[in-house]
Amino acid sequence: MVRRGGSRESRREEILLAALDVFAERGYTGASIASIAERVGLSQQGVLHYFPSKDRLLAEVLRLRDERNLDVLVLPGEGGAITLDTVAALVEYNEQRRGIVQSFTVLSAESVIENHPARDFFKERYGTARVWMAEVIRAELGDELPAGLTPEQAAPLMFAVMDGLQLQWLLAPDEIDMPGLFRAFLSLLKARDSAPGLSGPT
Amino acid sequence: MVRRGGSRESRREEILLAALDVFAERGYTGASIASIAERVGLSQQGVLHYFPSKDRLLAEVLRLRDERNLDVLVLPGEGGAITLDTVAALVEYNEQRRGIVQSFTVLSAESVIENHPARDFFKERYGTARVWMAEVIRAELGDELPAGLTPEQAAPLMFAVMDGLQLQWLLAPDEIDMPGLFRAFLSLLKARDSAPGLSGPT
DNA sequence: CTGCGATTACCGAGTGGTCGGTAGGTCATA
DNA sequence: TATGACCTACCGACCACTCGGTAATCGCAG
């Protein structure tokens, strides 16, 4: 059965990685199955043999990317707790993976258009990520943040900063120090202000 | 010469507005000239009579959008100085213009892909906007921001927050209070911290 | 006021190309 | 012999863009 590559599973992953690249370079709408196929030495129909449609291919690409990202986040914090520093380290690591960052930026923005196949994925992803991030912030900084912010407010701001910096960085890598600016934002959250009463981490 | 609408100029603007809508709904790559034409009751060739190519159409759409945005920013600050509050008001106003926000989000992210016709536009736009925003911040908050940030660091963070919040808001308008969260971020910048030495605005 | 050439505002038809997806086959392996 | 891994051939739809018209309107000469 297997003609060229290894197992079916490894062939599928090969295609998924190529698809991630092509989606990063051209977006979902702009990417063609044929161009993905070419990159792994198959015909368009060869790719469709492994994935029934372009939509499904996208869905699996996103799932794979999420897994990998989780690895990056969870592995360093071996023992258990993920800290804000782990998140900053992820941002730093992202500087080495322009393709991944670009695919995420392009696809997530594209997904806001109606009926986009990735829309549900991103909506759910942000929803759960915000809850999770609020917990991380609360665990590390407590309930009282500067200027009276709550962890539930800080969490969406955190992702906004990450995403927004990625966009500016992709457009002008030489001008934007993405990890530096992200840490600067973190230090805003960690600062103790004098104005609104009781602060109390840990 | 004029068959249906008013002047040539008004016809062009009509097309530009329709194009902005379609780009917002489908992105640049996903939009077809024909679908834009349909919206203004023309044939595809009718649109190409006014704009020589899809690329040029996009360029003019972006230029128009920028003009309008400038109106929103500059008019309220009639006398002269634009303040951070004016910017917050723009974010608030954006909540009423989902289409505009969506077009900006989709197109700016799409523009990071190589050879995208809007790439230069957005790169330059962010570059000048950061310089301008740093000045606004310095004028209002001085050189010393919380946690030792400089206005030049705060400016890209500002746009990152705006863009990132727009993305999350577009995906989940009910969960994300975009202007509220933006003001929360502003209050982080305005807070006076006690930790790292000399603070001294104005 | 009339007539006329120039200009403009389109549209029909077509070009060559790409799109996602299907049908049906060949062929090596198990 | 059965199965899975492909491929060739094809489909109808759509893409941006070009060409060559036609008809309405203008400026202007008489």
For B167, the enclosing helix (H) or strand (E) is helix B151-171
Q: Are B112 and A164 in contact (CB under 8 A)?
A: no
Contact A195/B at CB under 8 A: yes
Contact A133/B at CB under 8 A: no
Tell me the nt nearest to B30, Cα to C1'.
D15
The band of A93, judged by pLDDT with boundaries at 50, 70 and 90, is: very high
Contact A123/B at CB under 8 A: yes
The band of A46, judged by pLDDT with boundaries at 50, 70 and 90, is: very high
Per-residue pLDDT of chain B (202 residues; tens, 9 = 90+): 445 556 888 899 999 999 999 999 999 999 999 999 999 999 999 999 999 999 999 999 999 988 887 777 776 656 667 899 999 999 999 999 999 999 999 999 999 999 999 999 999 999 999 999 999 999 999 999 999 999 999 999 999 999 999 999 999 999 999 999 999 999 999 998 765 444 444 4
Q: Is the CB of A2 under 7 A from strand C?
A: yes
Is residue A112 pLDDT above 80, yes or no? yes
- At B107 the pLDDT is 97
Span B52-95, pLDDT tens digits: 999 999 999 999 988 887 777 776 656 667 899 999 999 999 99
Is residue A7 pLDDT above 70, yes or no? yes
Q: How far apart are CA B126 and CA B159, in angstroms?
A: 8
Q: Which of B108, B149, B161 sits opposite A157 (nearest CB)?
A: B161
Interface of B with A in 135-154 (CB under 8 A): 146-149, 153
Closest CA to the C1' of D6: that residue is: A46
Q: Which of B119, B182, B188 is most worth mutating to test chain A (most A CB atoms within 10 A of its CB)?
A: B188
Question: What's the CA–C1' distance between B44 and D14, in Å?
Answer: 13
Span A114-149, pLDDT tens digits: 999 999 999 999 999 999 999 999 999 999 999 999
Chain length of chain A:
202
Q: How far apart are CA A123 and CA A112, in angstroms?
A: 9
- At A66 the pLDDT is 86
Is residue A201 pLDDT above 50, yes or no? no
**For nucleic chain D, which protein residues have CB less than 7 Å from any of its atoms?**
A 1-5, 8, 11, 41-43, 45-46, 49; B 1-3, 31-35, 44-45, 48, 52-55
pTM for the full predicted model: 0.92
